[in-house]
């Protein structure tokens, strides 16, 4: 999450008064970065993955599993150890690890949830194929190091959400009672959040700005014994500690929905995020646009979130829950009341699919853009006056419709144009599914694009597979000059579709039929324009974009078709993202062992897409449905939860011996391949 | 005698012809498809503008194909006949040569005269250097005819491979590659489809050793263990590829240049009574080149030249 500077955070009423100043300074800082870095060129492909973990207390013989709130202690242990390492006095185990691996040790970070950890590689990856092979061992190493700095019964696991977060009873250790002053949640204690002042302030100010608690309602899965209509039995309508306790009496918890009421239910989810450095701003903008339509597809493919607060949900992914959990919109912004104090209506939460394209690509037709995009016209004007083009200025003017949520009094003293803190304040609390990241101050990092929708996977093999796939598809996009543009509202619809149970197999997504560029005619031939004066191939101007109806450019396709290509029986002729990646690899010099391992990764994804293998969501549902204690009533009780967590731990630590239907989930659990794994 | 020089230009932006399809995953399809689409494109580009709209593509009836005259879109320089013509002013890469990894693979075809290989090799390398506007290439892999890794069992395939090809001819052909290496034109040399026994014999007899052996095994996880061992010991890098061993059969070449719907209309076919060039056609070699921006893994340029001799 970054931005952990200490200071005096302003409560919402104070923060609100200063929001405008932060925005104004943010715009100035953005222009300073942009002017400094717009000509930055030829940065290498560097990329990084982020793995987020839940930390659980698990004992085979104790039916009660809890989330460990010892994040600070664990990080402290890790930090101390690294210091020791730097001084050459590490614990022997770690020292061995370091010597064998060569590259720097992974880096651990705090996250919103006090039961979470985030780990990134010690240095960014490159595009060398050997680097791609290092990803999975490095992820395993991160898990191992994390585990080594925990108590014996603590485990870092990579489930997106903790199945019984917010259930009645004890789900954290140590135990804290809910209904604290910050979150005012009737399900989770304030201590669920990272105690660093930024995080509780973020949660409190979102609630305060919104004027009530956040409402995270997920449709419950209706099983054969689920009472119907279903009323969330854990909701307490008689609580009178805080004004917000009225929320449920005012209809915050509708029938047939699992009701949750705090930021932790969303921001306590684990994701798999990949950040790519682009060659320059132009390539970054292009990658941002081309990755956007892939978001919902990868989200459905990585679906891993079928349980909330001890109940089976009727959705498979985490996205909308996070979106609701940080939704700070006022009733006016939501359109529930006429606009009086708020500046505009906002159709989306701060956490949402991105709403506009930013490339200067001539293939970006205006029909792909949302005509109702909300922007701050003053911000756009300032950016354009500062020299920024309209397309990019529109993007940032859209991000700047929000208020900064956490403002530190110390930062309001004076504007420092060599820093990016005010800009980042808004940028980093716009949680869109793709993020365009300008170079940070004070180092040589370039323009970057972050791909954020994927759900964390249970094993490092899967996490490596999806990370590597994303790297390869960006290389294919740039090499083949692929075009995935569809109207951006279709991506919103696809994000909704991705939530459905087993959307990966049963639902269809809007996708562009022909991703290939149109051929540019020879510039000096009779029919080629010869306007461009230079003769480097890179400057060949594109042919005019064909202007058939936009609706003819895309179609509803299954994930299988999008990933593996249209079947010959189909009237579509979509090549498939995996065949595109394979064609890319065919043109590269790849050694046999690397290709073998990459083949194992692509095979996993191919089979997830065509249904041969199950998503984690499906495997978890199957695990619950077939557990002896499950009563067909959508309730995931403590014993089921215990055994599920036990199975998840076993998959990573004991190769999943005896875990139910593991082969349907991961295929044959041998190493990726004979030699390489 | 005419030397036909067929080219694809940069196929990276050429669309579907380069994408693997299930069931048809060998790259001779990539070669023939991209040659065909480059011919069509040149015919369109160089046609007089008025007739350009739909004279080429719309003709579904074989007898009514109207193509622009060959002289419009091809060019002849002495005995060299370029199909289509190449505008060398358009060649070159976007950044300076040091930014790229340039890999070239030369396929000697079985119909060609073995004694011509030194000349063919130099011609092929020179064409690529000119097309990419670079002074040298990083890796040159040669593929000799008649070699493969066929067979269901990888041990079996490795055994069979030992008797394939022609050791003496291959070793004789190698000296021109050593010369290119010694001149600095090629930084590394490589072979294709050499099994363990063949490779061991080869290594023992050459001065400049190949640093790469590119193999096409059905499943890249099943490289024959003896080959794996030898490669590790001798520090020969085993790379994968997906090329066809018989990359340009003469029948395919004839069809490509012929008068049919899918042909370029260059060669005469008397049964249709259409004029064109006549004579014995011998495919000699094919060269594939790939320029990858090294630290970004982006393929900027990839293409083929195919050369055949026509005895009129």
Question: Does the pLDDT of residue A24 top 70, yes or no?
Answer: yes
Residue of chain A with shortest Cα separation from B89? A535
**Cβ-defined contact of B20 to A586 (cutoff 8 Å):** yes
For residue A88, what pLDDT is reported? 43
Angstroms from B138 CA to nearest CA on chain A: 12
For residue A543, what pLDDT is reported? 52
- By Cβ distance, the residue of B12, B15, B292 closest to A588 is B292
Q: Are B265 and B70 in contact (CB under 8 A)?
A: yes
Bigger pLDDT: A160 or B270? A160
Angstroms from B27 CA to nearest CA on chain A: 9
Residue count of chain B:
312
For residue B53, what pLDDT is reported? 46
Average pLDDT over residues B135-143: 97
Per-residue CA distances from A235 to A183, A248, A249, A269, A635 (Å):
16, 8, 10, 22, 15
In the 8-state DSSP scheme, what is residue A661? T
Buried b (16+ CB within 10 A) or exposed e, B116-129: ebeebbebbbebbb
The mean predicted confidence, pLDDT, of chain B is 87
**Cβ-defined contact of B299 to A573 (cutoff 8 Å):** no
Lowest mean pLDDT: which of A118-127, B26-35, B131-140?
A: B26-35
Angstroms from A533 CA to nearest CA on chain B: 11
Angstroms from A536 CA to nearest CA on chain B: 6
Bigger pLDDT: A645 or A546? A645
Residues A604, A462: Cα–Cα separation, whole Å: 8
Residue A214 domain flag: yes
Residues A566, A557: Cα–Cα separation, whole Å: 9
Break chain B down into helix, strand, coil percent, rounded to 5: 35, 25, 40
Say what the alpha-carbon torsion angle A502, A503, A504, A509 is, to the nearest 10 degrees. 170
Residue A204 domain flag: yes
Instruction: Please name which of A151, A157, A166, A79 lies closest in space to residue A117, comparing C-alpha atoms.
Output: A157
Question: Does the pLDDT of residue B25 top 90, yes or no?
Answer: no
- What does the pLDDT look like over A429-461, one tens digit per residue? 999 999 999 999 888 899 999 999 999 999 999
Residues B245, B216: Cα–Cα separation, whole Å: 9
Angstroms from A524 CA to nearest CA on chain B: 8
- What does the pLDDT look like over A268-293, one tens digit per residue? 999 999 999 999 999 999 999 999 99
For residue B273, what pLDDT is reported? 54
Point out which residues pair with A448 in neighbouring strands: A277, A437
For residue A460, what pLDDT is reported? 96
**Cβ-defined contact of A480 to B48 (cutoff 8 Å):** no
Q: Are A242 and A291 in contact (CB under 8 A)?
A: no
Question: How many other C-beta atoms are found inside a 10 Å radius of the C-beta of residue A65?
Answer: 26
Residue A373 domain flag: no
Residue A65 domain flag: no
- What does the pLDDT look like over B179-236, one tens digit per residue? 999 999 999 999 999 999 999 999 999 999 999 999 986 676 778 889 999 999 999 9
Question: Does the pLDDT of residue B57 top 50, yes or no?
Answer: no
**Cβ-defined contact of B87 to A522 (cutoff 8 Å):** yes
Residue count of chain A:
677
Q: Which residue has tokens 């040091």? A: B98
- What does the pLDDT look like over A66-77, one tens digit per residue? 999 998 888 888
Residues B122, A259: Cα–Cα separation, whole Å: 74
Q: Is A595 helix (H, G, I), strand (E, B) or coil?
A: helix
Q: Is B264 helix (H, G, I), strand (E, B) or coil?
A: coil
Count of structural domains, chain A: 1
For residue A241 the two structure tokens come to 């500690």
Residue A80 domain flag: no
For residue B216, what pLDDT is reported? 84
Question: Does the pLDDT of residue B312 top 70, yes or no?
Answer: yes
Lowest mean pLDDT: which of A67-76, A156-165, A278-287, B9-18?
A: B9-18
Residues B245, A357: Cα–Cα separation, whole Å: 44
**Cβ-defined contact of B240 to A591 (cutoff 8 Å):** yes
Residues A428, A430: Cα–Cα separation, whole Å: 5
Bigger pLDDT: A528 or A664? A664
Angstroms from A97 CA to nearest CA on chain B: 25
Q: Which residue has tokens 């202007």? A: A547
For residue B44 the two structure tokens come to 């369109």
Residues A494, A492: Cα–Cα separation, whole Å: 5
Sort strands B280-293 and B298-311 into parallel, antiparallel or unpaired.
Answer: antiparallel
Residue A238 domain flag: yes
- Residue A499 contacts B, CB cutoff 8 Å: no
Per-residue CA distances from B158 to A595, B144, B164 (Å):
19, 16, 10
**Which sign, positive or negative, has the C-alpha torsion A620, A622, A623, A624?**
positive
Percent share of chain B, pLDDT over 70: 85
Average pLDDT over residues A328-351: 96
Residues A289, A292: Cα–Cα separation, whole Å: 5
**Cβ-defined contact of B20 to A520 (cutoff 8 Å):** no
For residue A659 the two structure tokens come to 């875990």
Bigger pLDDT: B260 or A672? B260
Angstroms from A468 CA to nearest CA on chain B: 13
**Cβ-defined contact of A586 to B41 (cutoff 8 Å):** no
Q: Are B210 and B189 in contact (CB under 8 A)?
A: yes
Residue A196, domain extent:
172-267
Per-residue CA distances from A499 to A247, A255, A458 (Å):
26, 19, 19
For residue A1, what pLDDT is reported? 39
Question: Does the pLDDT of residue A360 top 90, yes or no?
Answer: yes
Q: Are B181 and B131 in contact (CB under 8 A)?
A: no
**Cβ-defined contact of B12 to A481 (cutoff 8 Å):** yes
For residue A554, what pLDDT is reported? 96
Helix (H), strand (E) counts: chain B: 8, 10
- What pLDDT band is residue A2 in, cutting at 50, 70 and 90? very low
Lowest mean pLDDT: which of A557-566, A664-673, B261-270?
A: A664-673
Residues A358, A361: Cα–Cα separation, whole Å: 9
Angstroms from A653 CA to nearest CA on chain B: 25
Question: How many other C-beta atoms are found inside a 10 Å radius of the C-beta of residue A473?
Answer: 22
For residue A557, what pLDDT is reported? 97
Residue A59 domain flag: no
For residue A510, what pLDDT is reported? 98
Percent share of chain A, pLDDT over 90: 81
- What pLDDT band is residue A568 in, cutting at 50, 70 and 90? confident
**Cβ-defined contact of A579 to B239 (cutoff 8 Å):** no
For residue B95, what pLDDT is reported? 93
For residue A72, what pLDDT is reported? 86
Residue A206 domain flag: yes
Question: Does the pLDDT of residue B122 top 90, yes or no?
Answer: yes
- Residue A674 contacts B, CB cutoff 8 Å: yes
Question: Does the pLDDT of residue B58 top 50, yes or no?
Answer: no
Residue of chain B with shortest Cα separation from A524? B87
Instruction: Please name which of A235, A281, A279 lies closest in space to residue A256, comparing C-alpha atoms.
Output: A235
- What pLDDT band is residue A652 in, cutting at 50, 70 and 90? confident
For residue A524, what pLDDT is reported? 61
For residue A461, what pLDDT is reported? 96
Question: How many other C-beta atoms are found inside a 10 Å radius of the C-beta of residue A347?
Answer: 15
Average pLDDT over residues A578-601: 93
Residue numbers in B near A580 (CB within 8 A): 19
> Of all helices (H) and strands (E), which one includes residue A64?
strand A62-68
> Of all helices (H) and strands (E), which one includes residue A467?
helix A460-480
- By Cβ distance, the residue of A479, A522, A589 closest to B45 is A522
- Residue A152 contacts B, CB cutoff 8 Å: no
What is the Rg, in whole angstroms, of the alpha carbon atoms belonging to chain A? 25
**Cβ-defined contact of B295 to A573 (cutoff 8 Å):** no
Question: Does the pLDDT of residue A58 top 80, yes or no?
Answer: yes
- Residue A582 contacts B, CB cutoff 8 Å: yes
For residue B159, what pLDDT is reported? 84
- By Cβ distance, the residue of B41, B239, B241 closest to A519 is B41
Question: Does the pLDDT of residue A131 top 80, yes or no?
Answer: yes
Q: What are the DSSP calls for A214-225, one per residue?
A: --EEEEBP--TT
Lowest mean pLDDT: which of A68-77, A186-195, A551-560, B62-71?
A: B62-71
- What pLDDT band is residue B246 in, cutting at 50, 70 and 90? confident
- By Cβ distance, the residue of B12, B27, B217 closest to A479 is B12
- Residue A573 contacts B, CB cutoff 8 Å: yes
Residue numbers in B near A595 (CB within 8 A): 220, 240
Residues B143, B243: Cα–Cα separation, whole Å: 10
**Cβ-defined contact of B95 to A42 (cutoff 8 Å):** yes
Instruction: Please name which of B67, B79, B69 lies closest in space to residue B310, comparing C-alpha atoms.
Output: B79
For residue B99, what pLDDT is reported? 95
Question: Does the pLDDT of residue A102 top 80, yes or no?
Answer: no
Per-residue CA distances from B125 to A442, A469, B110 (Å):
46, 34, 19
Sort strands A272-277 and A448-451 into parallel, antiparallel or unpaired.
Answer: antiparallel
For residue A546, what pLDDT is reported? 60
Residues A522, B84: Cα–Cα separation, whole Å: 12
For residue A581, what pLDDT is reported? 96
**Cβ-defined contact of A536 to B94 (cutoff 8 Å):** yes
End-to-end CA distance of chain A: 32
End-to-end CA distance of chain B: 6
Question: Does the pLDDT of residue B137 top 70, yes or no?
Answer: yes
Residue numbers in B near A44 (CB within 8 A): 295-296
For residue A89, what pLDDT is reported? 42
Lowest mean pLDDT: which of A104-118, A415-429, B258-272?
A: B258-272
ipTM over 0.95: no
For residue A104, what pLDDT is reported? 77
Percent share of chain A, pLDDT over 70: 91
For residue A540, what pLDDT is reported? 42
- What does the pLDDT look like over A527-537, one tens digit per residue? 654 443 333 34
For residue B17, what pLDDT is reported? 62
**Cβ-defined contact of A587 to B290 (cutoff 8 Å):** yes
Say what the alpha-carbon torsion angle A385, A277, A599, A457 is, to the nearest 10 degrees. -80
In the 8-state DSSP scheme, what is residue A243? G
Cis before residue A229, ω within 30 degrees of 0? Answer: yes
Query: Hey, which of A58-72, B2-16, B50-64, B263-277 has the most confident mean pLDDT?
Result: A58-72
Residue numbers in B near A583 (CB within 8 A): 18-20
Residues B170, B206: Cα–Cα separation, whole Å: 10
Angstroms from B23 CA to nearest CA on chain A: 11
In sequence order, which ranges of B114-243 are alpha helices (DSSP H)?
117-132, 154-162, 167-182, 196-205, 225-234
Average pLDDT over residues A627-643: 97
Q: What are the DSSP calls for A406-448, one per residue?
A: --BGGGGS---TT--HHHHHHHTT-EESEEEEPPPTTS----E
- Residue A586 contacts B, CB cutoff 8 Å: yes
Instruction: Please name which of B289, B286, B196 lies closest in space to residue B245, comparing C-alpha atoms.
Output: B286
> CA angle, corner A348, sides to A342 and A351, nearest 5?
110
Question: To probe the interface with A, which of B221, B222, B247, B300 has the most A CB atoms within 10 Å?
Answer: B221
Residue of chain B with shortest Cα separation from A478? B298
For residue A246, what pLDDT is reported? 96
For residue B51, what pLDDT is reported? 44
Residues A401, A397: Cα–Cα separation, whole Å: 7
Angstroms from A656 CA to nearest CA on chain B: 24
Question: Does the pLDDT of residue A545 top 70, yes or no?
Answer: no
For residue A535, what pLDDT is reported? 38
- Residue A537 contacts B, CB cutoff 8 Å: yes
3-state SS of A269-321 is CCEEEEEEECCCHHHHHHHHHHHHHHHHHHHHHCCCCCEECCEEECECCCHHH
Instruction: Please name which of A539, A483, A507 lies closest in space to residue A363, comparing C-alpha atoms.
Output: A483
Residue of chain A with shortest Cα separation from B47? A526
Residues B139, B237: Cα–Cα separation, whole Å: 12
Residue of chain B with shortest Cα separation from A277? B296
């Amino acid at each position: 999450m970054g931005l952990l500077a200490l200071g005096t955070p302003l409560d919402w009423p104070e923060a609100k008064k200063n929001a405008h100043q932060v925005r104004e300074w943010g715009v100035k800082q953005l222009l300073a970065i942009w002017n400094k870095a717009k000509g930055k060129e030829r940065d290498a492909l560097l990329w990084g993955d982020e793995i987020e973990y839940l930390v659980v207390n698990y004992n085979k013989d104790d039916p009660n599993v809890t989330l460990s709130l010892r994040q600070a202690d664990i990080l402290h242990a890790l930090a101390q150890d690294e210091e020791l390492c730097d001084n050459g006095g590490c614990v022997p185990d770690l020292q061995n690890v370091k010597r064998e691996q060569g590259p720097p040790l992974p880096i651990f970070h705090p996250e919103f949830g006090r039961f979470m950890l985030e780990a990134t590689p010690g240095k960014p990856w490159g595009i060398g194929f050997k680097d791609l092979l290092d990803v999975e061992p490095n992820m395993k190493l991160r898990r191992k190091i994390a585990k080594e700095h925990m108590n014996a019964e603590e485990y870092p696991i990579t489930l997106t959400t903790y199945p019984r977060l917010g259930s009645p009873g004890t789900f954290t250790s140590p135990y804290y009672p809910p209904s604290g002053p910050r979150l005012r949640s009737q399900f989770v204690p304030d201590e669920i959040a990272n105690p660093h002042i930024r995080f509780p302030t973020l949660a409190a100010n979102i609630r305060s700005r919104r004027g009530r608690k956040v409402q995270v309602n997920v449709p419950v899965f209706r099983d054969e014994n689920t009472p119907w209509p279903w009323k969330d039995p854990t909701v307490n309508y008689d609580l009178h500690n805080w004004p917000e306790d009225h929320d449920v009496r005012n209809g915050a918890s509708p029938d047939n929905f699992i009701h949750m009421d705090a930021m932790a239910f969303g921001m306590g989810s684990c994701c798999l995020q990949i950040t790519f450095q682009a060659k320059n701003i132009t390539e970054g903008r292009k990658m941002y646009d081309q990755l956007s339509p892939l978001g919902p597809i990868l989200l459905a493919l990585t679906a891993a979130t079928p349980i909330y607060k001890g109940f089976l949900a009727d959705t498979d992914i985490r996205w909308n829950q996070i979106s609701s959990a940080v939704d700070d919109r006022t009733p006016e912004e939501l359109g529930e009341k006429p606009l009086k104090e708020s500046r505009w209506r906002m159709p989306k939460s701060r956490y949402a699919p991105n709403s506009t394209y930013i490339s200067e690509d001539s293939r970006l037709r205006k029909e792909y853009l949302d005509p109702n995009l909300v922007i701050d016209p003053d911000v756009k004007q300032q950016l354009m006056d500062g020299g920024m083009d309209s397309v990019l200025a529109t993007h940032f003017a859209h991000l700047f419709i929000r208020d900064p949520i956490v403002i530190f009094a110390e930062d309001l003293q004076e504007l420092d144009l060599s820093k990016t803190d005010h800009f980042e304040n808004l940028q980093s609390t716009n949680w869109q599914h793709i993020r365009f990241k300008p170079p940070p101050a004070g180092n040589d990092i370039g323009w970057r694009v972050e791909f954020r929708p994927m759900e964390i996977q249970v094993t490092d093999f899967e996490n490596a597979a999806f990370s590597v796939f994303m790297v390869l598809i960006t290389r294919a996009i740039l090499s083949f000059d692929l075009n995935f543009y569809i109207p951006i509202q279709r991506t919103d619809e696809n994000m909704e579709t991705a939530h459905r149970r087993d959307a990966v197999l049963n639902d269809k997504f809007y996708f562009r039929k022909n991703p290939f560029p149109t051929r540019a005619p020879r510039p000096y031939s009779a029919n080629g324009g010869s306007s461009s004066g230079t003769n480097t191939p890179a400057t060949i101007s594109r042919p005019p974009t064909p202007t058939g109806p936009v609706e003819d450019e895309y179609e509803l396709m299954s994930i299988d078709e999008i990933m593996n290509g249209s079947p010959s029986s189909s009237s579509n002729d979509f090549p498939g993202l995996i065949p595109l990646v394979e064609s890319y690899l065919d043109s590269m010099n790849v050694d046999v062992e690397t290709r073998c391992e990459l083949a194992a990764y692509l095979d996993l994804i191919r089979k997830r897409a065509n249904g041969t293998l199950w998503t984690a969501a499906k495997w978890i549902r199957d695990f619950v449905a077939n557990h002896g204690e499950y009563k067909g009533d959508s309730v995931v009780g403590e014993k089921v939860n215990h055994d599920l967590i036990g199975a998840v731990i076993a998959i990573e630590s004991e190769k999943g011996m005896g875990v139910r239907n593991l082969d349907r989930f991961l295929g044959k659990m041998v190493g990726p391949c004979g030699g390489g794994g | 005698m005419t030397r036909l020089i067929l080219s694809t230009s940069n196929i990276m932006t050429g669309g579907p012809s380069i994408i693997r399809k299930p069931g048809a995953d060998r790259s001779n399809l990539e070669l023939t498809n991209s040659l065909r689409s480059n011919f069509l494109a040149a015919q369109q580009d160089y046609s007089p503008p008025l007739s350009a709209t739909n004279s080429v593509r719309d003709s579904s009836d074989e007898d009514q194909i109207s193509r622009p005259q060959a002289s419009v879109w091809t060019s002849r320089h002495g005995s060299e006949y370029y199909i289509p013509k190449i505008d060398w002013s358009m060649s070159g890469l976007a950044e300076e040569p040091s930014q790229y990894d340039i890999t070239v693979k030369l396929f000697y075809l079985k119909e060609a005269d073995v004694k011509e290989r030194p000349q063919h090799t130099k011609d092929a390398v020179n064409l690529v250097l000119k097309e990419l506007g670079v002074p040298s290439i990083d890796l040159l892999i040669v593929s000799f005819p008649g070699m493969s890794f066929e067979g269901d069992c990888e041990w079996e395939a490795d055994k069979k491979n030992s008797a394939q090809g022609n050791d003496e001819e291959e070793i004789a052909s190698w000296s021109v590659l050593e010369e290119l290496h010694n001149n600095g034109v090629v930084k590394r040399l490589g072979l294709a489809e050499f099994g363990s026994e063949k490779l061991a014999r080869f290594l023992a007899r050459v001065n400049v050793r190949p640093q790469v052996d590119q193999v096409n095994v059905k499943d890249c996880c099943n490289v024959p263990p003896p080959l794996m061992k030898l490669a590790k010991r001798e520090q020969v890098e085993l790379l994968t590829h997906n090329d066809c061993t018989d990359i340009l059969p003469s029948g395919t070449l004839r069809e490509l240049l012929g008068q049919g719907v899918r042909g370029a209309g260059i060669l005469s076919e008397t049964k249709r009574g259409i004029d064109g060039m006549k004579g014995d056609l011998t495919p000699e070699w094919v060269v594939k080149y790939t320029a990858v921006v090294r630290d970004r893994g982006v393929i900027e340029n990839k293409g083929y030249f195919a050369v055949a001799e026509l005895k009129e």
